[in-house]
Amino acid sequence: MRMYEIILDGELTADLTDSPVQLQRRNFGGATILSFPVVRDDTLSLVLSLLESLGIGVTAVRQVDDAENAGDAVDAGDAGDADGAPEQLSRL
């Protein structure tokens, strides 16, 4: 299953109950990482719109292959992921 991770500016201390999908939230090195499955074509757009409407800054977005990989190599400074391929980060 395709998954996305969104890295937020700072630590988010509450769940986003209005999200169109269930978001897994974890804090990492002063940032918050939201992970979620792609359930519809517009899932990413809907989540980003929600974050924007709440004034929450987004540092990066990346697509991961499946739920097992969500959270691997989350440091935006990593040269690659677990298989040695370069990470696909989108800076916003």
Q: Return the closest-CA partner of residue 35 out of 65, 78, 76, 80.
A: 65
Residue ranges per structural domain of the chain: 3-66
The model's pTM: 0.70
Torsion angles phi and psi, residue 43, rounded to 5: -55, -50
Report pLDDT digits (tens) over 15-64: 888 898 999 999 989 999 999 998 889 999 999 999 999 999 999 999 99
DSSP string, 55-66: T--EEEEEEESS
Query: Under CATH, what is the fold of the domain 3-66?
Result: Alpha-Beta Plaits (3.30.70)
